[in-house]
């Protein structure tokens, strides 16, 4: 089995101070994709290049203490792609792709951090631009290789994916346009939401993010924002999925999928 985890760290320094590395050493995933590293290369040097024996590959934001993604892996990639060729969003450190190619197969693991639009209209418009630009990139990639995207997508796709869906229909993360993008990505785009493939009907158990306000975590008033989105060949290898909530490394929970074969 190949264990692949996705986690929004809400800051690598913060998450590691809360026991992330000990958990990784115990769980022993083959690979963990992280988002919101909130650090730059000098902050990582000598401290976070590897975690629990997993080697990190990073895409840092230009702005200090902002965004940033990484993939930590036990297996040496055949290639690492940093950024997806879009100046606006590559400056924000949102995309890293590890390729594990052999003469027989081409496979990639991607860590992508989709923008949040919750801070205001400017960022919501940036989020829409990102959705418009990442879609054709991933479709072009799909024509060439199989891959799995591990991501804080910052979108709850359906009503089952958040507690208070009725009151959030005009809020970023559950807007009709955002949800329509997810539907298109999974239908026309031919991608698979791996969690929903294995657990089509869960509600309360599916959440991966909780607001820091109003005892949301204690009351499990959550959202499912963190996904494994895979091409059908990789999704077909998924055997189990778990969302770890016994410890809190950030405001998100790690989502781990065991794949029969990935790398």
Catalytic positions are 152
SS (H, E, C) the chain: CEEEEEEECCCHHHHHHCCHHHHHHHHCCCEEEEECCCCCHHHHCCCCCEECCEEEEEECCCCCCCCCEEEEECCCCCEEEECCCCHHHHCCCCEEEEECCCCCCCEEEEEEECCCCCCCHHHHHHHHHHHHHHHHHHHHHHCCCEEEEEEECCCCCCHHHECCCHHHCCCCCCCHHHHHHHHHHHCCCCCEEHHHHHCCCCCHHHCCEECCCCCCCCCCCEECCEEEEECHHHHCCEEEEEECCCCCCCCECCEEEEECCCC
């Amino acid at each position: 089995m190949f264990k692949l985890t996705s986690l929004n760290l809400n800051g690598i320094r913060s998450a590691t101070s809360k026991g992330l590395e000990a958990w990784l050493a115990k769980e022993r995933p083959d690979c963990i994709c992280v988002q919101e590293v909130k650090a730059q290369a000098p902050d990582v040097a000598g401290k976070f290049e590897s975690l629990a024996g997993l080697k990190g590959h990073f895409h840092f934001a230009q702005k200090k203490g902002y965004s940033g993604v990484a993939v930590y892996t036990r297996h040496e990639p055949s290639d690492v792609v940093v950024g997806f060729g879009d100046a606006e969003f590559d400056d924000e450190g949102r995309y890293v792709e590890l390729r594990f190619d052999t003469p027989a197969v081409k496979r990639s693991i991607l860590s992508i951090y989709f923008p949040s639009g919750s801070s205001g209209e400017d960022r919501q418009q940036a989020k829409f631009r990102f959705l418009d630009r990442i879609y054709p990139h991933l479709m072009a990639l799909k024509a060439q290789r199989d891959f799995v995207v591990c991501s804080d997508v910052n979108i709850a796709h359906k009503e089952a994916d958040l507690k208070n869906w009725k009151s959030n229909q005009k809020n970023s993360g559950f807007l009709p346009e955002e949800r329509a993008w997810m539907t298109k990505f999974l239908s026309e785009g031919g991608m698979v939401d791996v969690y929903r493939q294995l657990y089509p009907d869960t509600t309360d158990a599916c959440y991966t993010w909780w607001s820091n306000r109003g005892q949301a975590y204690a009351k499990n008033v959550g959202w499912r924002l963190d996904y494994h989105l895979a091409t059908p060949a990789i999704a077909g290898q998924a055997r189990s999925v778990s969302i770890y909530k016994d410890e809190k490394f950030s405001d998100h929970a790690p989502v781990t999928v065991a794949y029969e074969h990935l790398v």
